[in-house]
Structure 1
Amino acid sequence: MTDELLVVRAQLGDRTALAEMVARWRVPVWRYVQRMLDADRADDVSQEIWLAVVRGLPRLREPTRFAPWLFAIARRSVVDRLRTEYAAAPETPVRDDRCVEDLSETVVARAELVGALTSLPVLEREILVLHYLEDLSVQDCAHICRVPVGTVKSRLNRARRLLREHLSEKGYQS
């Protein structure tokens, strides 16, 4: 069943269609939120997103645009959470000294990539996550972020450059 059909059925009150839609999109939404924030906060923000989806679904006029609409809600929720946390953050940075002792090369490489991704500015990280990790088009990313397509392209270019620089500093070669 297509997303469009699920949306229409859910708008008509079909709870099984809504449940199937949530089951289909729960993991991609959580992954997006987790990549923008972290796993601890992803659960809470994901629940907020699904509440907003259920409340806003009757007003969705273009069921074919469900994925961009969903990620726009997710983006707003992430930005709201970041804005709230930045406003309440102490002036001195908090250092996280947690250490994981898994020395396999795959885990280390993945940790380096995640570290490099989290070191990017939020706007560039967001575009990389949406475009490459969530596999959304440049046009959909522009719609979600409410910016022109050219801005998405320039952010992608800058994000790739910053990521490349960060990884080359760590000894990875392109």
Structure 2
Amino acid sequence: MSDELLVVRAQLGNRAALEALVARWQGPVWSYVRRMLDAERADDVAQEAWVAVVRALPRLREPDRFAPWLFTIVRRSALNRLRGQYADRHDLIGDFATELDRSGVACDPVDGLVDRAEMVARLAGLPLPEREVLVLHYLEDLSVQDCAEVCGVPAGTVKSRLSRARRMLREHVEKEGERT
């Protein structure tokens, strides 16, 4: 059953459709939040995001746009948690990146793939805006347009962030190759 159909049924009060939607998207949501925050906060933020999704679902006017709508809510929940922690600082983005870099990023335990684990570990070294679009685009399989909608920036900005992030990752890999 498509997300669109599940959303419409959930909006009409079908509890099984809502449960199916949550079951389908729970892994990707937690995975996204985990890559943006440390494990301790990821569970809480993911749960808060799902509460917000369930409350706002009746107002979703475009059920076919569920994925970007969902990740927009999840992103807002993660950023709100970080803002709360760093409310008195001036440079939020820099502080987000510093905190995220310090906390590290772990791969999904189910995956167990070395390449993916290495990639996720390398993501920890990227600034938050570049890391975010890489996670959304490559790991959560959202289109450039959907990433733009989630991040609240133009598609061109997403493309430039993706390009910059790929360049930064490539430079990091090349530096590691020189050291070995």
- Classify the TM-score, shorter chain: 0.7 to 0.9
Structure 1: segments with no counterpart, 5+ residues: 97-105
Shift of 1:111: 4.9
- Extract structure 1 runs of 4+ deviating beyond 6 A: 93-96
Give me the TM-score of the superposition, normalised by structure 1: 0.84
Q: Highest Rg: 1 or 2?
A: 1
Structure-2 residue corresponding to 1:74 = 74
What is the RMSD computed on CA atoms of the aligned residues?
2.4
Alignment match, 1:43: 43
The residue type equivalent to 1:15 in the other structure is R
Question: Residue 152 in 1 paired to residue 158 in 2?
Answer: yes
Instruction: Specify the SS of the correspondent of 2:83.
Output: helix
Equivalence map 1:11-160=2 (5 Å) = 11-87=11-87, 107=114, 111-160=117-166
Q: CA deviation at 1:85?
A: 2.2
Q: Secondary structure at the match of 1:13?
A: coil
Distance 1:82 1:43 in 2: 14
Structure 2: how far apart are the matches of 1:141 and 1:150? 11
Unmatched 5+ stretches in structure 2 = 90-94, 104-112
CA distance in 1, matches of 2:144, 2:163: 12
Q: Distance in 2 between matches of 1:112 and 1:20?
A: 32
Deviations 1:12-64 (A, max 9, x none): 11111111110000001000111111222211111011000011001000000
TM-score (norm 2): 0.81
Matches within 5 A, 1:155-170: 155-170=161-176
